[in-house]
Amino acid sequence: MAEQLTYSELLARLQVRQVEEAQHERMTFVRKAIPDLDGAGILDPRVREQKQKELEAAASRPSGPPVDSTAIPIEDLRAMMGWPNHDLSGGTIRTALAEIEGSNGTIQVRIYTPVGDRVRPAVLFFHGGGFIGGSVDTVENPCKSLAQKADAVVINVDYRLAPEHPWPAGLTDCYDTVRWAFDHADELGVDRTRITVAGDSAGGNLAACCSIMDRDAGNGYIRYQALIYPVVVIAQPEQFHWQPEEYAIGADEALIHFSLDGLRNAGSMLNALYLQGAGSDNPLVSPLLIEDAAGLPELLVVTAEYDYLRLEGEAYGQLLAEAGVRTRVIRYEGMDHAFLDKYGEYPQAEDCMDELARGIWGLPADE
C-alpha cells in the first residue's frame, strides 16, 4: 500500500529515491523510483488510478472492430488530448504574446520571462500531440514553472499542425523560431550562447530534429536539447521492433498492457496524417535513424517506464552518447506516456522540470 504523503513530500522523495549510474563514458542513466510505493513491475498509484478509469471506460463501450484512427474527424482527435493542470509558478512570471514571420507565414508564440532585467538562458518549448494536436495551452504551466526554476526566458511555440500542414511545416516553424530567438536575443534578454530546445512526445521529436538541422547548417544556435518521452522513430525497421517482453510487468499486468497499447499502432496514423507520403526513414522524421550523430548538442532524455516510446528514447540517448555527445537519461519508474500534462498532480512532472532547469544551469556560459 502506498504511503500517505503530501505532494511536496512526494516531490522531495523523487530526489532521494533515485539511482544514478554511468552506462557509458558520455552517458549517465538515472532511475527514479515511485516515491511512495516499493516494488517492481507496478504502476505509480496515481497512474494506476487513472488507467483503471480509462480501462473501465473502454470496457463499457460497445464491442466491434478496431477503430481506424485516421477515420476519426481531426477535431475529435484533438479534443481527446491534453489534461487540466496547475500553475505552480506563484504568479512571478510575465507572459507576452508575439508573432514571428517564418518560412510558412506567421508563427504565434508565448514568451515567459521571470521578473527582473538580466540576461538569461532561453528555452524553445514544442508541445506534444502526435504532430496533429496538442496546444500551447496544455504546456503553459510547465513552461511557466521552467522559466521560474531555470531563471530562463521560455518561448512556447504554436507551430503548424498536420493534417492541414503536413511535414515538414511544423518542423520548419520550430526551427524558424530558434533562429528568431538567436537573432533577437538582445531584445529578449537572452544569452544566445545558451539556447535550449525542448519538447514532449512529438515536441521531443521536433526538438531533436531542430538540433540535427542546426548542426547540419553549421549555425550552432542550439546548445542543449531536452527530449521528454520523445517520438524518435516513426519508421519501424527490424532492429527497432519493440516487444512487450522488454518491459518489467508485475502485479499491474492488465493496466500496463493497456498503457503500452495506447501508442503501439500510432505509426500508421502518423504516416497518414503527418507525413502524407514523405519518407519515414528520413532522420528529420525519425532521428533515431541518423547515421552520424557526432556534434549534436548535449542531450537530456526523459522517459516513462510504461510508455511504448521508452525504448526508442533510451536508444537515442545511447546512440548520441556513443557518438561522443554528453547525455543524461532519466527514467521515471511506474509512469506512463504524457505525464507532463498532469503538471501539479503527478509530482514526476514537476521533478522533470527541476531536472531540465538543472541541466540548463549546468551549461557553461560559453565554450
β-pair type (120-126, 153-158): parallel
- Please, what is the end-to-end C-alpha distance for the chain in angstroms? 49
| Residue 128 in grid coordinates | 506534444
* 314 contacts 330 by C-beta, under 8 angstroms: no
Q: What are phi and psi of 289, to 5 degrees?
A: -90, 5
Q: What span, in angstroms and rounded, lies between the C-alpha atoms of 198 and 142?
A: 12
Q: What angle do CA 180, 182, 281 make, to 5 degrees?
A: 75
Residue 135 designated active-site: no
* 89 contacts 147 by C-beta, under 8 angstroms: yes
Q: Where are the beta strands (DSSP E) in the chain?
A: 18-24, 27-32, 93-102, 105-114, 120-126, 153-158, 190-200, 224-228, 298-304, 327-332
Q: What span, in angstroms and rounded, lies between the C-alpha atoms of 118 and 164?
A: 40
Q: Which of the residues 201, 211, 259, 286 is marked catalytic?
A: 201
* 195 contacts 182 by C-beta, under 8 angstroms: yes
The one-letter amino acid at 343: Y
Catalytic residues: 201
